[in-house]
Structure 1
Amino acid sequence: MTKREVIGRYQGSVMGVLWSFLNPLCMLLVYTFVFSIVFQSHWGKESAGNKGSFALILFSGLITFSVFSEAISRAPGLVTSNVNYVKKVVFPLEILPIVSLASVIFHVAISFAILLFAFLVIEGVPPPTVILFPVILVPLIFFVLGVSWVLASIGVYLRDVQQTMTLLVTVTMFMTPIFYPLEALPVRFRHYLEYNPMAYFVEEARRVLVFGLQPHWSAFVLALMLSFGVAYIGYVWFQKTRSGFSDVL
């Protein structure tokens, strides 16, 4: 089903799955030109003496955020767009968010490969800590999966959730330190980012991908435990509410 999801996304196009390579590559080229050449932007003091460019720092944050943004944006419509699985077939509906998330991870893996190639071209050999990037994604994946189960369920009963999530994802993106370093915020506003879990994941991904630093392992263990809890709650919620799907649809 994941394979069908990936192929179906580009069905009918001339270049097909090749678009999954071209889209992030074009994004990276644009970021490199705009921020490194036009704006000549620099990151905060954390990157002082570090040869990582603004474009690579920005792209690494966007890759991480895309796991959240794409999965959450699609989650409310997962059940409503697969009515046949609800009404006519005995089907494990709980795997629909897993299939969607696996498709997102496929595209993230391609973007990750492009980031490594760009790092080689622009800056040289990436830091060895890049191998920890998949580890950083583990709690994020479970967190997103749990939220997706909840949203997929609520989306059946309340169709406005789809539009609400589109707006929420946009707000969350600008409330996450992707386009700016955390130090750029006034101190009185920084503690508000503690309520945004994506701020943690983006910062940790950037540490291992660009700055060559180890993750904060104590915070990682806590994030892993919390994400397991979110996934469990989301799964239980989905199973408790799925009995009414067929009546609504």
Structure 2
Amino acid sequence: MIKDIITNRKLITKLAKNDFKQKFAGSTLGVIWAFVQPVITVLVYWIVFDKALSQGTQGTKGGIDAPFVLWLSAGIVSWFYFSEVLSAGTVVLHEYNYLVKKVVFPINVLPIVKAVSSLIVHGFFVVFTLLVAFLYGFGFTPYIFQCIYYSFAMMVLVIGLIYLTSALCVFFKDMAQLINIFLQVGIWATPIMWNFDYMVQKGSIPLWLNYVLKLNPMFYITSGYRDSIIGQTGFWTRPVMTAYFWVVTLIVFILGTHVFKKLQSQFADVL
């Protein structure tokens, strides 16, 4: 599977560019909407949580208190990418069913197309978050380059997931709806709107629930982005979490590609 991906990398790049353009084909502003929507979402959450509910600052590692809008942006930047790719990737075989039915087309590259096409917006939003950090006085540090590592880690995780969900969605179309529900719950079960450790200190949640919520692989990613942009902490300072994340991610990737490859011969008949 990995060999096929490397061999067809030019095809993946071409399809990813077309996929990105087609998302907004026919609209007046075109691809501009891809960049406007995440910014508006952050502004809405900022107004609701910081201004209306008075969340104030959220403590980060190293004792650094970041403004809520920056703390929120640094965490949600990864979730935007994860949720978009997982949602679109689950139905990718239905979307490109005309390619799936072609005997000679390498359909195992289609899930990768969704992951690559969303990188453009993700990169923009990372830069936007860095600009916000700069405006709040957080200077440029080498830790910022860790965002590349965390982006790669998140890509491996979500690609493994969409190999699994896209294959199952061919035979069980409700899978797409289940994924949407999962994403709606997931954004609140991931430390994006609040700091789990801070809530334990306040007594808002019990300590055992904090440990359970941290089993979510996206906890490692969102915390990593904050460590890179705000906390200025290296990923090597969390060896246990890093090892746990990669074990879970590799299991998901192996399971997803195995299921996809096993069911691949039936896709064209069912679609």
The verdict on a shared fold, with TM-score over 0.5 as the criterion, is: yes
Deviation at 1:19, TM superposition (A): 2.2
Equivalent pair of 1:51/1:123 in contact (CA under 8 Å) = no
Counterpart of 2:87 in structure 1 is: 73
Deviates more, 1:5-14 or 1:24-33: 24-33
State which of 132, 145, 156 in structure 1 corresponds to 2:146.
132
Deviation at 1:126, TM superposition (A): 4.2
SS of 2:94's partner is coil
Deviation at 1:36, TM superposition (A): 4.2
Q: TM-score, normalised by structure 1?
A: 0.90
Equivalent pair of 1:71/1:144 in contact (CA under 8 Å) = yes
Letter in 2 for 1:98: I
* Count of residues paired in the alignment: 249
Deviation at 1:26, TM superposition (A): 2.8
1:19-98 pair list within 5 angstroms: 19-46=33-60, 50-98=64-112
Counterpart CA distance in 2 for 1:49 and 1:222 is 25
Q: Does 1:152 align with 2:166?
A: yes
Counterpart CA distance in 1 for 2:225 and 2:144 is 9
Equivalent pair of 1:43/1:181 in contact (CA under 8 Å) = no
Equivalent pair of 2:58/2:71 in contact (CA under 8 Å) = no
Query: Structure 1 residues 137 and 221 mapped into 2: Cα distance closer, same or farther (>3 Å)?
Result: farther
Q: Does 1:227 align with 2:241?
A: no
Letter in 2 for 1:106: I
Counterpart CA distance in 1 for 2:33 and 2:254 is 35
Q: TM-score, normalised by structure 2?
A: 0.83
Runs of 4+ in 1 over 6 A off after TM superposition: none
Letter in 1 for 2:226: R
Counterpart CA distance in 1 for 2:251 and 2:79 is 21
Q: Deviations over 1:138-172 (max 9, x none)?
A: 22211111110011100000011010110011111
Identity rate of aligned residues, in percent? 24
Counterpart of 2:263 in structure 1 is: 241
Q: Deviations over 1:191-241 (max 9, x none)?
A: 221431111221122111222112235232553354234223321221110
Counterpart CA distance in 2 for 1:45 and 1:2 is 38
Counterpart of 2:12 in structure 1 is: none
Query: Structure 1 residues 220 and 48 mapped into 2: Cα distance closer, same or farther (>3 Å)?
Result: closer
Counterpart CA distance in 1 for 2:169 and 2:82 is 17
The unaligned stretches of length 5 or more in structure 1 are none
The unaligned stretches of length 5 or more in structure 2 are 1-14, 200-204
